[in-house]
Structure 1
Amino acid sequence: MDRVEKSKEKYKQLFGNGVPAAYATDPDFQDILSRFIFGEVFYQGDLDDKQRELITLVVLAANQTLPQLKAHVGATLNVGLTPVEIKEAVYQCAPYIGFPKTLNAINEVNEVFKAKNIALPIESQKTVDEGNRFEKGLATQVEIFGDIISKMREAATANLMHIQDYLSAFCFGDFYTREGLDLKTRELLTLCIISAIGGCESQVKSHVLGNKYVGNDKETLISAITHCLPYMGFPRTLNAISCINEVILENQ
């Protein structure tokens, strides 16, 4: 199939038999969009459709492009993702884009779930409590990043130690320890979220290394960032790829 046929087949798989509304007003633009995203990008690299739709979901949440996010919630269900996986991917955004934007995304997910008669709330995936969220979060940090976490905590000044504690207990304890998505998936999604925000190259590099440590190889990272391209544009995509190349050399 050429990219035109591929785009039609992929769009139907994701969204059904409908026609994008933009064809009525901007058909040339819609052709460019559909053929590039669904005829090329979706076929580039080694990701499956479930991974691609989770990546799309978190990047749209990071960008707060909520109408498109709502459409892709339906697509995530159509490719076989579970309500738990969808919710966990959106929850994973919170430490990086903040609670208000994450709640906006959650509201869109909930609207789709209600329309499809998916019962809310989704079953809890938490594995920590008030007594162990810091301890388990810190252990997860070390699992992902290694000894550098101890060095970061030792180097922190007294007036910034609370930030290190928040990273361990909140970011990693409250989110990374949850069930529903495995660690490799959470770390890959985090890389995409941070790359989409822009201006976070230091954190992107850290999470490139984290991805490497949890078993996501360079080709997977490049495939993931390539999939982000239609949603976040070339500048942020090229910045993220530059970070990947700087951290993981070609012979590694």
Structure 2
Amino acid sequence: MAITKFSQEYHEKMFPGYKSRFLETDPEFIERFDNFAFDEVVNQDDLDDRSRFMAILATLLGCQGFDEFRAILPAALNFGVTPVEIKEIVYQSVAYLGIGRVFPFLKAVNEIFTARGIKLPLEPQATTTTENRREAGTQAQVDIFGDNMKDFWKSGPEETRHINYWLTDNCFGDYYTRKGLDYKQREMSTFCFIAAQGGCEPQLIAHAAANMRLGNDREFLIKIISQCVPYIGYPRSLNALNCVNEAAKKAI
């Protein structure tokens, strides 16, 4: 088989000692996929491996790639993504994907951690209480999006205002205020959740802009999209790129 040396070595770093059955059942497909995903894509840019695997995990959550998530999670650990970082990505995804879609992934993480001897629960990462989560959430929104978010929690028509309140106290006050990931990593993860699930272009443009505001510039987001192409395909990747470009235009 014509799997490149680099692809074979990278695959071995991801999955030490593992030989896929697909090499026997689907050799032509595996040759092309491995050479693309684990050589051509990896060598496209200088994105560090930890960011790459964090983005891939968030993307697989977004597109509901459960089996691939289970396969990639040990590889992410092998490339230095910490158990706390993995748990924080999964926890935060609930605000963007809903527990109905995230629940199987959380169970899988716990099973894999336990099998690898990672003691659960992990160290607590919460920094807010029931009493201050709304105020802390507002501060997080202001830090990420700007001063125009200061009164977001009480904005909108009366009959739907509670949802904006929840976005502040729950999405941002409960999750973005946690330790384990910084704002840049959280916004990168959110960008991947939204891009991978598709159909949420207004939110994707807004979070692309938030990423840029925090320092995850257009070049960085293109690298993130590029590394996730093998996992979500071209239509959603190209759509994400269009949203990044739209956000960049508005920022000029």
CA–CA separation in structure 2 for the residues paired with 1:76 and 1:52: 9
Q: Which moved more, 1:218-227 or 1:15-24?
A: 15-24
Cα drift, residue 152 of structure 1: 4.9
Determine the structure 1 residue equivalent to 2:166. Answer: 166
Matches within 5 A, 1:50-89: 50-89=50-89
CA–CA separation in structure 1 for the residues paired with 2:153 and 2:175: 20
CA–CA separation in structure 1 for the residues paired with 2:200 and 2:156: 20
CA–CA separation in structure 2 for the residues paired with 1:137 and 1:118: 30
CA–CA separation in structure 2 for the residues paired with 1:115 and 1:154: 45
Q: Residue 19 in 1 paired to residue 27 in 2?
A: no
CA–CA separation in structure 2 for the residues paired with 1:155 and 1:117: 47
Match of 2:159, SS state, is: helix
Determine the structure 1 residue equivalent to 2:130. Answer: 130
Q: Residue 99 in 1 paired to residue 99 in 2?
A: yes
Identity within the alignment, %: 41
For residue 120 of structure 1, what is the amino acid of its counterpart?
L
Say whether the 8 Å CA contact 1:46–1:220 is kept in structure 2: no
CA–CA separation in structure 1 for the residues paired with 2:150 and 2:131: 21
Cα drift, residue 3 of structure 1: 7.9
Determine the structure 2 residue equivalent to 1:43. Answer: 43
Q: Give the TM-score normalised by the residue count of structure 2.
A: 0.94
Q: In structure 2, do the counterparts of structure 1 residues 151 and 125 end up closer, same or farther at CA, with 3 Å as the change threshold?
A: closer
Question: Which stretches of structure 1, 4 residues or more, deviate above 6 A after TM superposition?
Answer: none
CA–CA separation in structure 2 for the residues paired with 1:181 and 1:53: 14
Determine the structure 2 residue equivalent to 1:188. Answer: 188
Which whole-Å deviations, capped at 9, do the CAs of 1:204-247 have from their partners, x for residues lacking one? 10001100111111110110111121111111110110111111
Q: In structure 2, do the counterparts of structure 1 residues 200 and 251 end up closer, same or farther at CA, with 3 Å as the change threshold?
A: closer
Q: Residue 175 in 1 paired to residue 190 in 2?
A: no
Determine the structure 2 residue equivalent to 1:31. Answer: 31
Cα drift, residue 250 of structure 1: 11
| Residue-pair matches, total | 251
Match of 1:92, SS state, is: helix
CA–CA separation in structure 2 for the residues paired with 1:20 and 1:149: 49
Determine the structure 1 residue equivalent to 2:240. Answer: 240
Q: In structure 2, do the counterparts of structure 1 residues 251 and 153 end up closer, same or farther at CA, with 3 Å as the change threshold?
A: closer
CA–CA separation in structure 2 for the residues paired with 1:125 and 1:19: 37
Say whether the 8 Å CA contact 2:154–2:164 is kept in structure 1: no
Say whether the 8 Å CA contact 1:57–1:69 is kept in structure 2: yes
For residue 40 of structure 1, what is the amino acid of its counterpart?
E
CA–CA separation in structure 2 for the residues paired with 1:125 and 1:154: 27
Unaligned runs of 5+ in 1: none
CA–CA separation in structure 1 for the residues paired with 2:3 and 2:20: 17
For residue 89 of structure 1, what is the amino acid of its counterpart?
I
CA–CA separation in structure 2 for the residues paired with 1:203 and 1:6: 37
Determine the structure 2 residue equivalent to 1:110. Answer: 110
Unaligned runs of 5+ in 2: none
CA–CA separation in structure 1 for the residues paired with 2:149 and 2:176: 15
CA–CA separation in structure 2 for the residues paired with 1:249 and 1:43: 28
Say whether the 8 Å CA contact 1:45–1:220 is kept in structure 2: no
Q: Which moved more, 1:142-151 or 1:232-241?
A: 142-151
Cα drift, residue 143 of structure 1: 0.7
Determine the structure 1 residue equivalent to 2:148. Answer: 148
Determine the structure 1 residue equivalent to 2:206. Answer: 206
CA–CA separation in structure 2 for the residues paired with 1:43 and 1:114: 33
For residue 214 of structure 1, what is the amino acid of its counterpart?
L
Q: In structure 2, do the counterparts of structure 1 residues 160 and 251 end up closer, same or farther at CA, with 3 Å as the change threshold?
A: closer
CA–CA separation in structure 1 for the residues paired with 2:134 and 2:190: 20
